Amino acid sequence: MSSTQHNLSSFSTDQQLSADIRIGIVVADWNQEITHSLLQGAQQTLLRAGLTSTQIVVKFVPGSFELPLGAQWLLENQQVHAVICLGCVIQGETPHFTFISQAVADGIMRLNIDYNLPVIFGVLTVNSLEQAKDRSGGMHGNKGDEAAYTAIRMIALQQACEK
């Protein structure tokens, strides 16, 4: 279903996380206006789910291409239960968009499998700055909210499966 017709960020944070949960967020500084808005949405959702600011580890990387390595370092060094990767790649006139988008998606997927922990793809891959703004707090909601909600649900699923 196309998100052009829906604000997908309207959901309730019905799952509360326990006090021992830590979530990492890796944010690309490239397209900072967009990515920092995504970060704000993710943090607000995690706080509404019962986390404190000390349970949220935020680190910044130069661009979206560096998100998988930043996430790996959080997984290896910060005792996190999930990592949310936030970035924004905007289509340009060259194939660069395709190479970066695919590399980031592949890297994040590999981390999910290799570490057996949720690594959430919160990377906007859009055709224009306007589309990015619409999805980072505009008419289509905030994909940072959705990425945080996905992390919450995946942690809950993992805990339920381990019982």
> Could you say which of 6, 36, 81, 96 is catalytic?
96
pLDDT per position as a tens digit, 108-157: 999 999 999 999 999 999 999 999 999 998 899 999 999 999 999 999 99
**One-letter amino acid for residue 99 of the chain:** F
* Rounded distance between C-alpha atoms, residue 115 and residue 72, angstroms: 9
How far is residue 71's CA from residue 84's CA, in Å, rounded to a whole number? 8
Q: Which tokens belong to 66? A: 């560096």
pTM of this prediction? 0.90
CATH number listed for the domain at residues 46-130+140-156: 3.40.50.960
pLDDT tens-digit series, residues 52-109? 999 999 999 999 999 999 999 999 999 999 999 999 999 988 889 999 999 999 999 9
6 catalytic? Reply is no
Residues, the chain: 163
